[in-house]
Each structure stands twice: as structure tokens, then as C-alpha cells.
Structure 1
Amino acid sequence: MLIAHLSDLHIRPQGQLYQGLVDSNAMCEAAIAHLNTLNPVPDVVIVTGDIVDRGSPAEYMMAKKLLSEIKQPLLIIPGNHDDRHEFRSARLIEPYGADLEPFNFIASEFGPVRIIGLDITVPGKHHGNFDAQSKEWLENALAQEADRPTLIMMHHHPFLSGIPYIDIYGCENGESLANVIQRFPAVERVVCGHIHRAMQLRFGGSVLCTAPSTTTAIALQLDPDAPEASFIEPPAMLLHHWKPDTGIITHWVPIGSFPGPMPFA
């Protein structure tokens, strides 16, 4: 089973730039075009939040236009830049994410791996929170098919990355989330967005991966006094490949055209 993973598209109204500097819409189009060339094709595409930048109806109209070019089934959760009301009204995908509050779901029909969408956003805030309601819902969801290979998708990172200006907006109560996952060994991946960088670590006895953004990368600065900064690094996506003999293998996939193929390996 192949799961393609995009994140942090930060789509703007047509003709407007992200942060007034970067054409995030064009970068999203390039990512989707690259996605549509993958062979074999993914069984499902997931997007881990920040679909748009400011939560406006015009942005969601543009998002719907861009995302309609994805040929595979699509699963989306909101991020801190998304507006829950407008996210729901846009009906970016069916049937998931249309009438849910929060936008939690279980998707079991796309292959051997069950995909759980966990919405830990806090409306009007930039941090996330794995609160008591989220804990109860996730425990019940995981218990339904406790032995089935599972991927959990969320937006905020539930750990301290060491980058000071993004960690203040992470997911609170990450230790509680790790304790839940620890009890369900079939959780093969927890995947996040938000951090605009690819990272991986052990988490709750599983593996947690963060996805790069299709637009700017948050600067990798580990000095606790470092000022906020971003770079226009090569955009990328993740590809999660599940096989019976290995479980999930996660690949970092750069977006763009590169010299090759060359006749050697």
C-alpha cells in the first residue's frame, strides 16, 4: 500500500503570494503534478493541515480547484491556519471532513493500513492540544481494530523539536498521546505537518515523521534564542510504503525535475 503525504500548502487567493513573497499556489501545483507522475500510483493521498494560509473563502475556493487535480482518493485534516467553518463549508473532499467536529475520522477502505485522522487544533490558536476528549476518541478508534496496521495523521508535532519558534506552537499533552500509542503496537506511524521540515523519531513505541511543506521550510536553528526564519528550500513530500514483510517504509521525495535517469545504480 502506498500513501502519498503532502502538508502545509498555505494556498492563497488566486494571484496572491504567501507572506507576500512566495507563490505557494504554483508550488502546490508543482507538487500535485509530481504526485500524479508517481508509478505505481498511491492508493491514497493525505494532507496534514494548513491547506490554506488565512482561512478565507477565496483561499478555499482556490484550494478546491488545485486539489481537484489529484487523481487518487484524498484525506485531509485542518491545521492552525485553517478555519473550521470555512474548511467544512468548502467540502474539499467527500465523505471525510464535511460534517465532523472536530475533524476526526477512521479510513479503512484504501488498503491494509487503517488511516486515522486526529484533529488536535484549537480554534483561534496556533498551538494544538491532545485533550481528554481527543484521548477518549483515539483510544476508542484504535481499539476497534487493535491489531490492524495503522497510521495516525495530525497537524501539530507532539514533541519538542529543538527549534524554539515552532515548539511554542506544538501539540500540548504530547506525553499523553505517546502513552496511548504505546498500548497499541499496530500503530506503525504517527505523521504530522506544521513544522515545515522532515524529521523522524521514536514516539510512543512507534515512529513519528513530520512532513516538509510544499512551500517554505522553517529554518533549522537549534539555538534557543534564534529568531524566526524560513528558507525557500527544495519542496518535498513523503511517501509511506507498507509491505507485509517490513511494515511502513517512509521515503522523502523531492518535488521537481532533476538530471536522470542515468544507467547505473
Structure 2
Amino acid sequence: MLLAQMTDLHIKGNGKLAYNRVDTVKFVKDTVQHINHFMPKIDAVIISGDLTDNGTMAEYEYTKSLLNQLNMPYYVVPGNHDQRKNLYDGFRENNCFMSGSYIHYSIDDFPLRLIGLDTLVEQKPHGYLPSSSLNWLDKQLNEQPEKPTLIFMHHPPFKTGIEHMDVQNLLNAEEFIKLIDKHSCVKQVACGHVHRAIQTVINSTVYSIAPNAAHATVLNLGFNAQPCFTLEPPALQLFRLDEKNKLTSHISYIGHFDGPHPYFNSQGQLIE
């Protein structure tokens, strides 16, 4: 199975530039085309929050029109820039949303089980999973303890070293990690929010943050760093589950680059 992760689209009303500089609509269009033409074919796409910049219904309708150009199913969860009810209303036809106060759901249609978690705290930058959400997740994982599972959500439960982002990640990270440690079926927890490709291992489970297809947070690991973004080459994260249920992740850059160039000549010799 091959899975793609998009994150932090930040689509604004009428296709306006984000932060008066970032053409997020173009980046999403380019990413959709990149995914559609990727070989071998990508089976599904997960989108880990901040689909829009302000959470208006007009923004969700526009975002949906862009994402509906994907040639495979896609699944979304909210981020801190989203509005839960509007996202639910805008995408319920495309996703397997459950009824309730939070947008949590599981997808069992693939060899890799996908569980989407809603970490949104309305009008706040940080994330949180209340006891009801943790209990729901625990129950879901207990139902299929042998099936390899990937959890996707917006707020990462670990510190990255980017100080101004770390203060607005998942507030009850220790509680969440303690739950994950009970379930060996969880192969990876895939997050967004930070706008950089970052990965760590906590107690044998891989936790990752996807790169952004638009603007990236400046990689400043010093104290009191100013919150700034940069327009680095856009990318997305891919997950490959092999026939032995081993999960591998890759970064795929979006755009046209020089190459491909062969390593070997027509006689099979390494080109110097």
C-alpha cells in the first residue's frame, strides 16, 4: 500500500495569498497533480489539518473543489486554523466521519488501518485530546490489535526544538504517548502543524511531522527565535506498507528538477 500525507494547506477565501505572500492555492494544485501522476499509484491521501486559514464555509467549499481533483480517496482531520462544524459540514460526503463532538474515525479499507484524530481546541493554537477521545482511541486499537495502524492528527505530541511551535503542540502529550505504548499495532503517528519534516522515536513508536507543500517554518533551534516562514522546495510525505507489514516513509519533493540522470552507461559501467 502507498499512502500520501498532505498538511497545512491554509486556503484562504477567494484564493487570496496567505500572509500576503504565499500562493497556497497554486501549491495545493501542484501537489494534487504530483500525487495523481505518482507511480506506482497512490492508494489514499491523508490531510492532517489546517485545510483553510480561517475555517469559513466558503474556504472549505473552495478547498474541497481543489481536493476533489485527486484520483483516490482522501481523509481529513482539523487543525487549529479550522472550524470543526464547518469542516464537518463541508467534507462529510467525502469522509467517513462519525457523529459526535469530535471528528475521530477509522478507515479499515486498506492493509494499513488509518485512524484520524481531532486535536482541535477551538480558537486556540495548541491541541488537546480529552479523556473521551483517548478512551475512544483505546477502544478502537483494542478491536484490531494485530492490524498495522497509522494514526494521523494535527498537533504533534513531542518537542521539536523550534520553541515557538513547541508551546502550541499537543498539551497532554504524555497521556497520549502512554496510551500508544500499550498498542504495538501502531506503526506510526503522522502529524502536521509545524510546517517542517521532523521525525522522532518514542518507546519504539515512530512519530513524524509532514513537510509542507506551501510555506515552511524557519528551522531556528535557538532560544527566543522569531516566528518566521520561508519558501523552501515544497514536499509531501509518503508511507509504503510492504507485504510483510513493514512501514517505510519517504519525502517526495514537488516540482520540476534537473534529471533523472543514469548512474551507469550503456555498457553497464558506473559513469565517472
* TM range, smaller chain: over 0.9
Partners of 1:44 and 1:100 in 2: how far apart?
A: 25
Tell me, yes or no, if the aligned pair for 1:8 and 1:51 is still in contact at 8 Å: yes
Tell me, yes or no, if the aligned pair for 2:98 and 2:104 is still in contact at 8 Å: no
> Relative to structure 1, is the Cα distance of residues 261 and 93 closer, same or farther in structure 2, using a 3 angstrom cutoff?
farther
In structure 1, the partner of 2:185 is 186
For the pair 1:2 / 2:2, whether they are aligned, the reply is: yes
Structure 1 residue 6 displacement after superposition: 0.6
Structure 1 residue 98 displacement after superposition: 7.0
Q: How is 1:62-81 mapped onto 2 (pairs within 5 angstroms)?
A: 62-81=62-81
For the pair 1:157 / 2:156, whether they are aligned, the reply is: yes
Q: How is 1:9-20 mapped onto 2 (pairs within 5 angstroms)?
A: 9-20=9-20
In structure 2, the partner of 1:129 is 128
Tell me, yes or no, if the aligned pair for 1:212 and 1:236 is still in contact at 8 Å: yes
Structure 1 residue 65 displacement after superposition: 0.9
Structure 1 residue 14 displacement after superposition: 2.5
In structure 1, the partner of 2:96 is 96
Aligned residues with identical type, % of pairs: 34
Write the deviation string for residues 106-147 of structure 1: whole angstroms up to 9, x where unpaired. 1001x2110001111111211101221221111001001011
Paired AA for residue 121 in structure 1: L
Q: How is 1:1-80 mapped onto 2 (pairs within 5 angstroms)?
A: 1-80=1-80
In structure 2, the partner of 1:106 is 106
Partners of 2:197 and 2:15 in 1: how far apart?
A: 28
SS at match of 1:172: coil
In structure 2, the partner of 1:138 is 137
In structure 2, the partner of 1:200 is 199
Partners of 2:123 and 2:168 in 1: how far apart?
A: 12
Paired AA for residue 61 in structure 1: E
For the pair 1:234 / 2:254, whether they are aligned, the reply is: no
Tell me, yes or no, if the aligned pair for 2:197 and 2:211 is still in contact at 8 Å: yes
Partners of 1:95 and 1:170 in 2: how far apart?
A: 25
SS at match of 1:27: helix
Partners of 2:66 and 2:5 in 1: how far apart?
A: 16
Residue ranges of structure 1 left out of the alignment (5+ in a row): none
Residue ranges of structure 2 left out of the alignment (5+ in a row): 265-272
Partners of 2:114 and 2:231 in 1: how far apart?
A: 31
> Relative to structure 1, is the Cα distance of residues 246 and 262 closer, same or farther in structure 2, using a 3 angstrom cutoff?
farther
Partners of 1:26 and 1:98 in 2: how far apart?
A: 31
In structure 1, the partner of 2:171 is 172
> Relative to structure 1, is the Cα distance of residues 256 and 98 closer, same or farther in structure 2, using a 3 angstrom cutoff?
farther
Tell me, yes or no, if the aligned pair for 1:189 and 1:208 is still in contact at 8 Å: yes
Structure 1 residue 242 displacement after superposition: 0.4
> Relative to structure 1, is the Cα distance of residues 246 and 91 closer, same or farther in structure 2, using a 3 angstrom cutoff?
closer
Tell me, yes or no, if the aligned pair for 2:75 and 2:95 is still in contact at 8 Å: no
Tell me, yes or no, if the aligned pair for 2:48 and 2:76 is still in contact at 8 Å: yes
In structure 1, the partner of 2:114 is 115
Tell me, yes or no, if the aligned pair for 1:74 and 1:93 is still in contact at 8 Å: no
Structure 1 residue 228 displacement after superposition: 1.0
Structure 1 residue 165 displacement after superposition: 0.9
Write the deviation string for residues 180-238 of structure 1: whole angstroms up to 9, x where unpaired. 11111111010000010001111242101100111110111111211111101111000
Structure 1 residue 101 displacement after superposition: 2.6
Structure 1 residue 263 displacement after superposition: 2.1
Structure 1 residue 15 displacement after superposition: 3.7
Structure 1 residue 261 displacement after superposition: 1.9
Paired AA for residue 193 in structure 1: G
Moved over 3 A (4+): 97-100
Tell me, yes or no, if the aligned pair for 1:128 and 1:171 is still in contact at 8 Å: yes
Paired AA for residue 90 in structure 1: G
Partners of 1:190 and 1:227 in 2: how far apart?
A: 28
Partners of 1:73 and 1:31 in 2: how far apart?
A: 15
Tell me, yes or no, if the aligned pair for 1:202 and 1:208 is still in contact at 8 Å: yes
Normalised to the residue count of structure 1, the TM-score between the two structures is: 0.96
Structure (1 or 2) with the larger CA radius of gyration:
2
For the pair 1:255 / 2:254, whether they are aligned, the reply is: yes
